[in-house]
Structure 1
Amino acid sequence: MTTLYALLVGINEYASAEVPNLRGCVRDVQSVAAYLRRNNTDTRLRIKFRCDREATRDGVVEAIRTHLGQAGPEDTVLFWFSGHGSQAACPDWAWFAEPTRQLQTLVCADSRTGEVPDLWDKELSVLLDEVGRHAAHVAVVLDSCHSDGATRDLPTGPTAFRNVPEAAPRNLSSLVSELIQHTAAADRPEHIAMTACRSTERARETVLDGGIRGVFSWSLLRALDQLGPLATYRELAAAARTGVEQRVRDQTPQLRPAASTLADHAFLSPQPGVHGAAMRMRYLRGDWEIDAGAVHGLPVGDGLRVGVRGGSPTQQATVTTVQAQHSLVLPAGSWAPARDRQYPMVITHVPLPRLTVSVNGYCHGAVERLLRELHTAAPGGGPSPHVRDVEPGSPADLRADVDPSGMVRLGDAHGRPLSEVPAGEAVRALEHIARWTLLSTLANPRSGLAGSVRLEIMEAPAGVLIAPPVGGSVLEPTGGELTLNYLRDDLGWRSPEVFIRLHNTSDRELFCVLLDLTPRFRVHATLFPGDFIAPRARAAALDGRGIRAYLPDGMTPEPGVRVRDRLTLLVAEQPFGAEPFLLPELGGRLSRERGVWNSRGLLEQIGDGVVRRDLSPAEPDRGSYDWAVESLTLVTAVPD
Structure 2
Amino acid sequence: MGQIYALFVGVNRYPPDVAPELTGCVNDITAARRLIESRAGGAARVLSLPDESATVAAVQAAIRDFLGRAGEGDTALFWFSGHGRQLPASGADLLIEATGANQALVCCDGDLLDKRLGTLLERVARRGAQTVAVLDCCFSGGATRDADAAPGLAVRCAPPRGPGGTPERSPTVRRRPVARDAADGARPQQHLLLAASRLDQYAYEDWCEGRKHGIFTHSLLEAVRTAGPGASYRQLLAAADARVRRAVRDQRPVLHPARSGGLADRPFLGGAAGRAAGDHLLRYGPDGWEVDCGAAHGLRTGEGAEGTEFVPVEGGSGGLLRARAVREERTLVDAVGWSPDPALVHPVALSALAVPPATVSVGAASAQAADLLREAIAGYGPDGGPSPLLRVADAPRDWSALHVRAVTRGARTRLLGRDGVPFADPLPLSGPADARRVVDCLTHLARWHRLRDLTSGPSVLDASVCLEIVPWDRPGGPPLTPDGGGEIVCSYEGGGGGGAPPRRPLVSIRLHNRSRRPLWCLLLDLTDRYAASPVLFPGHWIGPGGTGHALDGEPVELSVPAAREAPGAEVRDWLKLVVAETELNTMPFCMDPWDPSRPLRRNGPSETSAVLRLGPPDGLRDLGRPAGTAPTARWAVRTVPLRTRIPANEP
Band the TM-score falls in, shorter-chain normalisation? 0.5 to 0.7
Q: Give the Cα separation in 2 of the matches to 1:249 and 1:303.
A: 28
**Deviations for 1:330-383, whole angstroms, at most 9, x for unmatched residues?**
223x534343333222112224554269xxxxxxxxxxxxxxxxxxxxxxxxxx
**Which residue of 1 is the match for residue 159 of structure 2?**
165
> Shift in Å at residue 184 of structure 1?
4.6
AA of the residue aligned to 2:340: P
Secondary structure of 2:258's counterpart equals coil
**Which residue of 2 is the match for residue 529 of structure 1?**
none
**Which residue of 1 is the match for residue 75 of structure 2?**
76
C-alpha contact 2:576 2:637 (8 A) present in aligned 1: no
> Shift in Å at residue 325 of structure 1?
1.8
Secondary structure of 2:351's counterpart equals strand
Unpaired runs of 5+ in structure 1?
112-117, 171-181, 358-383, 435-609, 618-640
Q: TM-score, normalised by structure 1?
A: 0.54
**Which residue of 2 is the match for residue 396 of structure 1?**
531
Deviates more, 1:69-78 or 1:196-205: 69-78
**Deviations for 1:540-575, whole angstroms, at most 9, x for unmatched residues?**
xxxxxxxxxxxxxxxxxxxxxxxxxxxxxxxxxxxx
- Name the CA shift for 1:426/1:4 in 2 (closer, same or farther; >3 Å): closer
Which structure has more RCO (C-alpha within 8 Å, separation ≥ 6)?
1
C-alpha contact 2:308 2:352 (8 A) present in aligned 1: yes
**Which residue of 2 is the match for residue 86 of structure 1?**
85
C-alpha contact 2:89 2:97 (8 A) present in aligned 1: yes
Q: Give the Cα separation in 2 of the matches to 1:611 and 1:262.
A: 25
1:310 aligned to which of 314, 319, 327: 314
Secondary structure of 1:157's counterpart equals coil
**Which residue of 1 is the match for residue 300 of structure 2?**
299
Deviates more, 1:154-163 or 1:220-229: 154-163
Q: Give the Cα separation in 2 of the matches to 1:330 and 1:271.
A: 34
Secondary structure of 1:350's counterpart equals strand
Secondary structure of 2:27's counterpart equals helix
Unpaired runs of 5+ in structure 2?
165-181, 356-446, 454-519, 538-548, 559-569, 591-631, 640-651
Q: Give the Cα separation in 2 of the matches to 1:199 and 1:248.
A: 16
> Shift in Å at residue 243 of structure 1?
1.5
**Which residue of 2 is the match for residue 322 of structure 1?**
326
**Which residue of 2 is the match for residue 106 of structure 1?**
105
Deviates more, 1:8-17 or 1:129-138: 129-138
**Which residue of 2 is the match for residue 342 of structure 1?**
345
1:138 aligned to which of 111, 115, 131: 131
**Which residue of 1 is the match for residue 411 of structure 2?**
none
AA of the residue aligned to 2:122: D
**Which residue of 2 is the match for residue 63 of structure 1?**
62
**Which residue of 1 is the match for residue 15 of structure 2?**
15
Secondary structure of 1:92's counterpart equals coil
AA of the residue aligned to 1:283: Y
C-alpha contact 2:78 2:133 (8 A) present in aligned 1: yes
Q: Is 1:25–2:28 an aligned residue pair?
A: no
Secondary structure of 1:219's counterpart equals helix
Q: Give the Cα separation in 2 of the matches to 1:72 and 1:614.
A: 36
AA of the residue aligned to 1:395: Y
Q: Give the Cα separation in 2 of the matches to 1:20 and 1:393.
A: 68
**Which residue of 2 is the match for residue 39 of structure 1?**
39
Q: Give the Cα separation in 1 of the matches to 2:124 and 2:311.
A: 42
> Shift in Å at residue 323 of structure 1?
2.4
* 1:535-554 → structure 2 map (5 Å cutoff): none
Secondary structure of 1:67's counterpart equals helix
> Shift in Å at residue 317 of structure 1?
2.0
Q: Give the Cα separation in 1 of the matches to 2:294 and 2:577.
A: 33
Q: Give RMSD over aligned pairs.
A: 4.3
Q: TM-score, normalised by structure 2?
A: 0.53
> Shift in Å at residue 163 of structure 1?
4.9
Deviates more, 1:211-220 or 1:345-354: 345-354
1:126 aligned to which of 100, 119, 123: 119
Q: Give the Cα separation in 1 of the matches to 2:557 and 2:285.
A: 45
Secondary structure of 1:324's counterpart equals coil
- Name the CA shift for 1:76/1:153 in 2 (closer, same or farther; >3 Å): farther
Q: Give the Cα separation in 2 of the matches to 1:335 and 1:426.
A: 22
- Name the CA shift for 1:326/1:137 in 2 (closer, same or farther; >3 Å): same
Q: Is 1:203–2:349 an aligned residue pair?
A: no
**Which residue of 2 is the match for residue 254 of structure 1?**
254
AA of the residue aligned to 1:329: V
- Name the CA shift for 1:55/1:426 in 2 (closer, same or farther; >3 Å): closer
Secondary structure of 2:41's counterpart equals coil
Q: Give the Cα separation in 2 of the matches to 1:340 and 1:222.
A: 9
> Shift in Å at residue 132 of structure 1?
1.7
AA of the residue aligned to 2:338: W
AA of the residue aligned to 2:536: D
**Deviations for 1:117-142, whole angstroms, at most 9, x for unmatched residues?**
x1111110011112222132111000
> Shift in Å at residue 158 of structure 1?
4.9
2:335 aligned to which of 323, 331, 355: 331
Q: Give the Cα separation in 2 of the matches to 1:328 and 1:410.
A: 45
Identity of aligned residues (%): 33
Secondary structure of 1:246's counterpart equals helix
Q: Give the Cα separation in 2 of the matches to 1:424 and 1:21.
A: 53
Secondary structure of 2:350's counterpart equals strand
* 1:338-487 → structure 2 map (5 Å cutoff): 338-352=341-355, 353=447, 354-355=450-451, 394-396=529-531, 400-401=535-536, 406-407=552-553, 414=571
Q: Give the Cα separation in 2 of the matches to 1:411 and 1:96.
A: 52
AA of the residue aligned to 2:12: N
- Name the CA shift for 1:56/1:393 in 2 (closer, same or farther; >3 Å): closer
AA of the residue aligned to 2:282: M
**Which residue of 2 is the match for residue 264 of structure 1?**
265
- Name the CA shift for 1:351/1:385 in 2 (closer, same or farther; >3 Å): farther
